[in-house]
């Protein structure tokens, strides 16, 4: 079945411990007797990925205990790779795309957690600016299209918590490769050529108040044609990556407030030649509710530390403590 129904490093250092001691300890393998996974060592053609930028608060740059997005990324790694209820059943790798301001000791911790850490160059042509501090470098997500050793990559924003394994998403019909249309009216001369075929499957942006399962008839989406860039499946393509790059070089081609989301919505607009395709709505829910959780949604796009629906906070935070407890025990066994 494409949708799986839900099933019934060193220990974190104190704030006053020197960072270089942590880095030295982090050079141990994340499993006893096993090296870090690398792009050269993985055999899978499918992968999971997320994005991590350095915190905008300077005091959190080196802090592994209070950097909420870093902790969220660790929770996601734990769930995708280790937790029995949610881990990949097919041993798909997990890629963390980082920006240049993520310090080395945090990268090493993620490697110990089992993730493949990749620093990709920024995509910034100067005019794309947003007032939201945590979104300044999100165009770097588009570098995932360069990873052509993979047939498909499922991207999840770091503030995502799983409830069940996601491997079945690669069997969803929405992720099938599609031929690019040739509508001349949707082609602009100042953009590079589109590829012959493409894959982009995702979910629409959600209203905070919604039903489960959501439908357009119940007005659960503000615009069912508007993709949420926090959860999607892609097929890497250098030609498509080049197409995106030309869009970033054309001022005002898309609204820069939500940079990568609005770029993808322009490039894959429903009336264009590469329309995005909707995944089964049970794979992911933005602004999740307890009803979504009880209904069996596979992943919750929500901040573990400050959910919109506060009654979800105990469930979300429990995964932080499970992750940290798992690694405290695992790391202690490697000393």
- pLDDT at residue 133 in the model: 53
Closest CA to 52 of 147, 128, 148, 137: 137
- pLDDT at residue 128 in the model: 80
Taking residues 174-180, report their average pLDDT: 99
- pLDDT at residue 20 in the model: 38
- pLDDT at residue 249 in the model: 93
- pLDDT at residue 295 in the model: 97
- pLDDT at residue 35 in the model: 81
pLDDT tens-digit map of 68-116: 999 999 999 999 999 999 999 999 999 999 999 999 999 999 999 999 9
Residues written for the chain: 335
pTM: 0.89
Those residues whose C-beta lies under 8 Å from the C-beta of residue 191, and which sit 6 or more positions away, are: 243, 246, 247, 250
Map tokens 């915190």 to a residue.
55
Domains of the chain: 19-334 (3.90.550.10)
- Burial (0-12, 13-18, 19+ Cβ within 10 Å), 288: buried
* pLDDT band, residue 23 (cuts 50/70/90): very low
- pLDDT at residue 10 in the model: 26
The pair of three-digit structure tokens given for residue 37, joined into one six-digit string: 């996974």
- pLDDT at residue 167 in the model: 99
pLDDT tens-digit map of 30-42: 444 468 899 999 9
pLDDT tens-digit map of 204-254: 999 999 999 999 999 999 999 999 999 999 999 999 999 999 999 999 999
Residue 269 has pLDDT above 50, yes or no: yes
* Of 313 and 126, the one with more pLDDT: 313
Secondary structure of residue 90 in the 3-state scheme: coil
Taking residues 186-192, report their average pLDDT: 96
Taking residues 43-71, report their average pLDDT: 94
Residue 59 has pLDDT above 90, yes or no: no
Distance of CA 118 to CAs 34, 50, 71, 167, 264, Å?
19, 10, 18, 22, 22
Beta bridge partners of 161: 300
- pLDDT at residue 70 in the model: 98
* pLDDT band, residue 304 (cuts 50/70/90): very high
Strand pairing category for 94-98 and 152-156: unpaired
* Of 335 and 17, the one with more pLDDT: 335
Residue 29 has pLDDT above 60, yes or no: no
Please enumerate, as own/partner, the contacts of 212-219 that have beta carbons within 8 Å and a separation of 24 or more: 212/285, 212/289, 212/291, 212/292, 212/295, 212/297, 213/281, 213/282, 213/295, 214/281, 214/285
- pLDDT at residue 136 in the model: 66
Q: How would you classify residue 219: left for phi > 0, otherwise alpha for psi between -120 and 50, otherwise beta? A: left
Taking residues 143-155, report their average pLDDT: 98
* Of 261 and 21, the one with more pLDDT: 261
Residue 14 has pLDDT above 60, yes or no: no
Residue 328 has pLDDT above 90, yes or no: yes
Q: What mean pLDDT is reported for the chain?
A: 89
The pair of three-digit structure tokens given for residue 184, joined into one six-digit string: 């001349």
pLDDT tens-digit map of 293-302: 999 999 999 9
* pLDDT band, residue 189 (cuts 50/70/90): very high
- Cα 77–chain centre separation: 11
Residue 190 has pLDDT above 90, yes or no: yes
């Amino acid at each position: 079945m494409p949708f799986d129904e839900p099933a019934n490093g060193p220990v974190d250092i104190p704030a006053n411990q020197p960072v270089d001691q942590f880095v030295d300890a982090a050079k141990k393998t994340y499993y006893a007797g096993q090296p870090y996974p690398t792009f050269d060592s993985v055999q899978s053609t499918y992968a999971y990925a997320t994005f991590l930028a350095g915190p905008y608060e300077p005091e959190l740059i080196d802090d592994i205990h209070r950097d909420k997005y870093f902790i969220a990324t660790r929770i996601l790694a734990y769930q995708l790779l280790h937790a029995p209820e949610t881990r990949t059943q097919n041993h798909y790798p997990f890629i963390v795309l980082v920006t240049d301001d993520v310090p080395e000791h945090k990268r090493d911790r993620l490697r110990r957690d089992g993730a493949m850490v990749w620093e990709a160059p920024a995509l910034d042509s100067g005019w794309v600016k947003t007032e939201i501090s945590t979104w300044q470098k999100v165009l770097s997500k588009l570098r995932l299209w360069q990873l052509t050793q993979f047939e498909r990559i499922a991207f999840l924003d770091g503030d995502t918590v799983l409830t069940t394994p996601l491997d079945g998403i690669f069997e969803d019909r929405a992720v099938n490769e599609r031929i690019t249309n040739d509508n001349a009216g949707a082609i602009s001369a100042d953009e590079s050529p589109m590829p012959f075929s493409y894959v982009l499957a995702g979910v629409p942006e959600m209203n905070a108040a919604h039903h489960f399962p959501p439908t357009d008839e119940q007005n659960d989406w503000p615009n069912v044609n508007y993709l949420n860039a926090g959860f999607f499946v892609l097929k890497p393509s250098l030609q498509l990556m080049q197409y995106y790059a030309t869009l970033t070089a054309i001022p005002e081609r898309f609204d820069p407030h939500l940079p990568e989301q609005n770029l993808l919505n322009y490039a894959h607009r429903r009336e264009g030649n590469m329309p995005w395709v909707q995944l089964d709505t049970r794979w992911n829910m933005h602004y999740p509710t307890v009803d979504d959780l009880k209904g069996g949604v596979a992943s919750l796009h929500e901040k573990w530390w400050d959910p919109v629906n506060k009654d979800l906070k105990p469930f979300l935070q429990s995964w932080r403590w499970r992750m940290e407890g798992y690694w405290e025990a695992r790391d202690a066994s490697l000393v």
